[in-house]
Amino acid sequence: MVSRRDFIGATATSAAVIASAPALMGGSGKAFAQGQKSAPALKQSNKTKGGKWRPSYRLGQGGAPLAGSSGIRVTDQVALETLENAWNAGMRYYDTSPWYGLGLSERRFGMELHRKPKSDYEISTKIGRILTAAPEAPKTAWADPDSFDYRYDYSAEATRRSVEDSLQRLGVSSIDVAFIHDLSPDNPDFSGSDYEDYMKQAIKGAMPELTKMREEGMIKAWGMGVNTLDPILRCNEAADADLHLAACQYTLMDHEESLAKLFPSCDERGISIVVGSPLNNGFLAGFDRYNYSGNIPDGFKEKRARMEAIAKSHGTDLRTAALHFCGAPETVSSVIPGANKPNQPAENVKSMKKELPVDLWAELKSEKLIAENAPV
C-alpha cells in the first residue's frame, strides 16, 4: 500500500516535471539551466546565547508572495523557477503557511523540497487555521487560491492536526518550526472578543502542545507568527517559546516600538526574532503598497525618497540597505523577504553579502530617518 506521504511525494514529482517542461507549459525552463547550486548562504550557529534554537541561516525565503499575496497571481512555472533559483543561490531556510493561498504555498514549497535531504534545509510553517475541502475558495486577498475553506482553531488537538496536515501538503518528513499564526488584534476576521477568546484557547491549548511536540522531537522550535507586538509579549509571559516571526514590525520605516519593547522582552528570555516582510510588503523596493494594504501612511513616500537618495549617494540601493538594517540586531536570527519572480532570491542573497559603508547609517541617523539607538 502506498502511504499518503509517498503518494503526495510522487504527485509533486510529476507536477514538478510537467511545470518544468516548456513544450507542455509554454515556459522557458530557465530554472533548470542556471548553473550549479551555490553552497548554503549566510550560515550561522543554530543556537542563541540563551541556548534556544534558531534558524541556521541569516537569510530565508518567505512564502506568501508565491501564493498570490497582494492579489498578484504567480503561475506554477514561475513559482518553481523562483524556488529552484532560491536553492541554487544558497537559500536553505524557507517559511510558509497553510493560510498562504489556502495550501498553495505549502504545495509549491513541497515540489521543490520533497526530494532533497531534510538535513540540507530548514522550514517553518504555521498553525491556527484548519483547511477543509470546498467547491471553491472563499473570498480572500489571495490571487488564485486552492479550493479550501478555513476555520480558526488554536486548541491542542487542532495544533497537532495542523502540523500533520502541513506535512502532507509539503510531502516532507518533518518541519523545524511551527508559528502560531495571525493570533493578533489586527486580524480582520476577528471581531468583538475573538482575539481574547482565541488567545485564551492558545495559552491553554496550542502553546503547551507545541512545547510537548518540541520535547517529542516532532518540531525543533515554536513561537508566534504575527504582525503586532501584543501577542508576542503575551506569549513571552505565558509560555516557553523559542523564537517569533515578527512581520512588518522591524523595518527601516517602523522600528522604534520593537527596539523599546519587543527586543528587550525577547532578550530577557533568550528568544530570537525572525523578521518577516522586511521591505514592508515591497514598499522599500519601490512598490506603492505598504504592509499588505494600499493605504500608505502620510509622509512615508517622502521618507522613502529621502532614504533612496542617501542610499544611492553611498553606492547602494534602498532594498539592500533595508535588508541589512533588519539583520543587524543581535536579537534577529533571520530575515525572510518574499519573492514572486525568479530573479529575486539571488538578488536578496547578493544584497546580504554586500558590505555597506558605515557613513550610510551615520547619515540616516543624522537626518533622523532611523532611530539613534538602532543597531547597524
Catalytic residues: 100
SS3 label, residue 253: coil
Instruction: Give backbone dihedrals phi and psi of 130, rounded to 5 degrees, phi first.
Output: -100, 125
What residues form DSSP beta bridges with 179? Answer: 126, 223
- Side chain identity at residue 307, one-letter code: M
Task: Give residues with Cβ within 8 angstroms of 112, minimum separation 6.
Answer: 16, 80, 83, 84, 86, 87
Identify which of 174, 238, 233, 229 has the alpha carbon closest to the alpha carbon of residue 208. Answer: 238
- Side chain identity at residue 326, one-letter code: C
- Give the relative orientation of helices 76-88 and 104-113 as an angle to the nearest 10 degrees: 50
Joined grid coordinates for residue 272: 530570537
Instruction: Give backbone dihedrals phi and psi of 155, rounded to 5 degrees, phi first.
Output: -75, 170
Identify which of 242, 95, 207, 255 has the alpha carbon closest to the alpha carbon of residue 263. Answer: 255
SS3 label, residue 326: helix
Q: How many CB atoms lie within 10 A of CB 258?
A: 24
* Interatomic CA distance for residues 263 and 266, integer angstroms: 5
